[in-house]
Chain A
Amino acid sequence: KQEVTQIPAALSVPEGENLVLNCSFTDSAIYNLQWFRQDPGKGLTSLLLIQSSQREQTSGRLNASLDKSSGRSTLYIAASQPGDSATYLCAVKEGGSEKLVFGKGTKLTVNP
């Protein structure tokens, strides 16, 4: 059974700092991996989608990498801003299933 783990559970950084959020998954036979942002009491906003054949994806200040063989992904946020404060969720889709399996998330606080 696929399990997704995100470390750390919470992270607090000063504004302007570069940071890395980690995601690991137990079964490397994934189809893709998606990073989401969730604001308190709100829905999920898709940030980046990495196919299993890709190594990384970039969008603005965000860069996500994928090492499928080791079961790891990282989300790099450059020059963090207070508006980046949110919970970041990682989710994997396995081949042969339509569902996404989510991690519990990393709650990020960027202090001005």
Chain B
Amino acid sequence: EPEVTQTPSHQVTQMGQEVILRCVPISNHLYFYWYRQILGQKVEFLVSFYNNEISEKSEIFDDQFSVERPDGSNFTLKIRSTKLEDSAMYFCASIRLLGAGYEQYFGPGTRLTVT
């Protein structure tokens, strides 16, 4: 069964460093998402992406964050200058089409630890 994959599974970085989290969505999916979950808290929406553009973003997704689909398969989240409060589990999700159904499929997540 097709699934969303994410790499790395765990990333440790120092405050102020740039990190890139990578996702490979399901191959025929067209809409892509990033969410994060700070330990012990709710899963929060960051950004949605379609047709090489951001279609929606939350207030969390400030200028320190960016997303890109550099090729036909990868979808990346970049954090330019990490802060301690960026430590969280980051989940990528995808769906095939908007409209009826709209079931989001999630990857296993990348645990980001900022020291």
Chain A interfacial positions (CB closer than 8 Å to B): 31-32, 34, 36, 41-46, 49, 51, 89, 91, 93, 97-105
Contact = CB atoms under 8 A, between A and B. Distances in A.
Interface in B29-82: 31, 33, 35, 41-45, 48, 55-56, 58
Chain A facing B: main interface SS:
strand
Given A43-B107, A43-B108, A99 B45 contact: yes
B101 interface: yes
Interface of B: 6, 31, 33, 35, 41-45, 48, 55-56, 58, 89, 91, 98, 100-109, 111
A101 B102 CA distance: 14
A105 B109 CA distance: 17
B41 A34 contact: no
A44 B48 contact: no
A98 B33 contact: yes
What are the 10 tightest A-B residue pairs by CB atom distance, in nearest-first order?
A99-B45, A43-B108, A44-B106, A102-B43, A98-B48, A49-B103, A43-B109, A102-B42, A98-B56, A104-B42
